[in-house]
Structure 1
Amino acid sequence: MENSDVVIGVIFLSQTIFGFLGNSFLVYHYLMLYFVGCKLKFTDWILQHLIVANFLTLLCKGIPHTVSAFGLKDFLDDIGCKLIFYLHRIGRGVSISSTCFLSVFQAITISPKSSRWTQLKVKSPSYIASCVYMSWVLSFIVNIAFPMYMTARWYNRNITRLRVFEFCSSVQHDKTSDIVNAVFISIPDVLLVVLMLWSSGYMVCILYRHKQRMKHIHRSNFSFKSSAEFRATKIILLLVSTFVFFYTISCILQINMSLTHNPNSLWVNMASIVAACFPAVSPFLVISRSLCSACAGNRIS
């Protein structure tokens, strides 16, 4: 085993452990709030779906690549490869949609009463709840063909038709089919990212106007409810910006690998590390800013 493999293995192992600890802490936190009778905000409900997506990504990226980096390459059979990559794609899709819906809902929540979004404030929870569940269904459907291209490294001996990764391989087709499949799979992600950026830009404008107004208002007249809402908005913007940053780098690496017949292990490992960064980092962003810690005054009678 080379020193580079040990370093990569340690990175994957550390990333996976910290990611599982952070997301597990949030699960424990929500369970405690439930048992003590706290009424959670709708943003917390969306975050719970994001946590599940984070677990899927860490489980399907962190653990297999850690095992592979420490020298065990052919530990998955054909079904295992298909399942691992399929679940990762589902987790990735739900992670994008959950982050997007979190941004959209918060943008509607903090929109001024005089805006056109006023009527949506009451109905938005039911709309976005349906969209979140629909995102799970769409992730299962859109990525259903993805496992068909995956196979174990030792399962197919016709190496010329395979794009070999660390512990699995994908069956290669002609370039036209690959481009069509890539476009079809990417359309929902692109639309969600555009919607995410639009809602985030809208929130930035609202925060800027709010800051300008607060310069002329005495601090004692500033309501705690408004303060809490805008703190939550800043945290969601931090989550969105972190997601877009890692998502952009991941897309660049994925495009590079798709154009390569047999990508080397460095590119594969870099892409996997970046793909697992947001699931590992996002729970600590939530914990450090205490987005979901406040339930004072929200106890269920």
Structure 2
Amino acid sequence: MDIESIIIGFIFCLTTSIGIVGNVIVLAVLVWSAYQDKLLSSEVILSNLALSNLIFLLSGGIPTALFKFRIKYLNTDADCKADIYMIRIFRTMIINLTCLLSCFQYAVITSPSSRMFCLKAKMQKYFVLIMIFLYIISISSSVYGALYPVANANTSTLMYAFDLGYCFVIYPNGFIFQMTGFMNFAQDLIFLTLMVVTSICILVILYRHGKQMKSIRHSKENQETSAEHRASKATVTLVLLYEILYGIECAVWFYQLSASTNHLILNDVRHFLSLAFPSFFPEIILFFNQKLRKRLHC
């Protein structure tokens, strides 16, 4: 085993381990809170996001980390198809739920006189249906992820494929290779754009309320508003982190498409970037959310 594989394997192991432990902690705290009291809608979103992160890390992070140490347990095409399908489903759920969280947080902190304030009541009224709809989108739009993965392939003859090491995703021709990628990008772009717009609106509201918050620092209303603003800052931070990581990942992916290259190191870079957000998510949430930190201490 060469030193490069050891270093990359250690990085993947460390990132995946931190993400798994962190998301388990967040999920456990939220489940315990649900047992003691009813969860808020934003907390339900966070619990589903933590669960999606956890499954994504288990499906995508562990096989990659183990493969770097020459351990491969996905030995059949069916194993690879199931694993890649799970990765695709919960990767899509992560972006969908992050988008929903940003939209919901914007509706929460907007002024009661604003038209957008009505969005909060509608979102809470149809909250269950929205969550089911997002799961349906993720499951149905990720079916193509189970079509082309195989366990073994001759890497020297691969032209339109992604080499994950432990599995290969081989497309029959260049058209399907590029069309699948662009369709996936177009779907993500819709949610990413909505995330950016709502995050900018949240930042504008936080800026406008800055001086007003200082004047009522010791009031109960200010304490409640401060909690909402901390949640808003956490949401904006999550969106900003996701946008940065996704932007770099897309740049690498576009290069692979244009150059029709299949270097394993580029696939590792893309895969690491996709694992970074689920791994950093718990730290960001626990840093901003005092309520969860208090429950964690208890």
Residues 133 and 160 (structure 1), Cα distance of their counterparts in 2 relative to 1, 3 Å cut? same
- Count, aligned residues: 293
Report if aligned partners of 1:96, 1:192 keep a CA contact under 8 Å in 2.
yes
Residues 157 and 207 (structure 1), Cα distance of their counterparts in 2 relative to 1, 3 Å cut? closer
Q: Residues of 2 paired with 1:288 and 1:86: CA distance?
A: 32
Report if aligned partners of 2:81, 2:149 keep a CA contact under 8 Å in 1.
yes
Report if aligned partners of 2:13, 2:61 keep a CA contact under 8 Å in 1.
yes
Could you say which residue in structure 2 is the equivalent of 1:220?
218
Alignment of 1:96-107 (within 5 A): 96-107=95-106
Report if aligned partners of 1:94, 1:135 keep a CA contact under 8 Å in 2.
yes
Report if aligned partners of 2:159, 2:261 keep a CA contact under 8 Å in 1.
no
1:131 maps onto 2:130 in alignment: yes
Q: CA deviation at 1:137?
A: 1.0
What is the TM-score with the length of structure 1 in the denominator? 0.89
Could you say which residue in structure 1 is the equivalent of 2:42?
43
Q: Residues of 2 paired with 1:267 and 1:218: CA distance?
A: 52
Report the residue type matching 2:26 in the other structure.
L
Any gaps of 5 or more consecutive residues in structure 1?
297-301
| Higher fraction of helix | 2
Could you say which residue in structure 1 is the equivalent of 2:188?
189
Q: Residues of 1 paired with 2:238 and 2:148: CA distance?
A: 33
Report if aligned partners of 1:74, 1:152 keep a CA contact under 8 Å in 2.
no
Q: What RMSD, in angstroms, separates the aligned Cα atoms of the two structures? A: 2.3
Q: Residues of 2 paired with 1:235 and 1:78: CA distance?
A: 40
Report if aligned partners of 1:82, 1:147 keep a CA contact under 8 Å in 2.
yes
Residues 89 and 30 (structure 1), Cα distance of their counterparts in 2 relative to 1, 3 Å cut? same
Q: CA deviation at 1:188?
A: 2.0
Could you say which residue in structure 1 is the equivalent of 2:3?
3
Alignment of 1:103-118 (within 5 A): 103-118=102-117
Could you say which residue in structure 1 is the equivalent of 2:56?
57
Could you say which residue in structure 1 is the equivalent of 2:249?
250
Q: CA deviation at 1:256?
A: 2.6
Q: CA deviation at 1:231?
A: 1.3
Q: CA deviation at 1:2?
A: 0.6
Percent identity of paired positions between Structure 1 and Structure 2? 26
Could you say which residue in structure 2 is the equivalent of 1:280?
279
Alignment of 1:125-164 (within 5 A): 125-154=124-153, 159-160=157-158, 163=161
Q: CA deviation at 1:126?
A: 3.0
1:90 maps onto 2:85 in alignment: no
4+ runs deviating over 4 angstroms: none
Q: CA deviation at 1:51?
A: 1.1
Residues 286 and 7 (structure 1), Cα distance of their counterparts in 2 relative to 1, 3 Å cut? same
Q: Residues of 1 paired with 2:190 and 2:11: CA distance?
A: 32
Structure 1 range deviating more: 77-86 or 261-270? 261-270
Residues 277 and 160 (structure 1), Cα distance of their counterparts in 2 relative to 1, 3 Å cut? closer
Could you say which residue in structure 2 is the equivalent of 1:79?
78
Structure with higher RCO (Cα < 8 A, 6+ apart): 1
Q: CA deviation at 1:171?
A: 2.2
What is the TM-score with the length of structure 2 in the denominator? 0.90
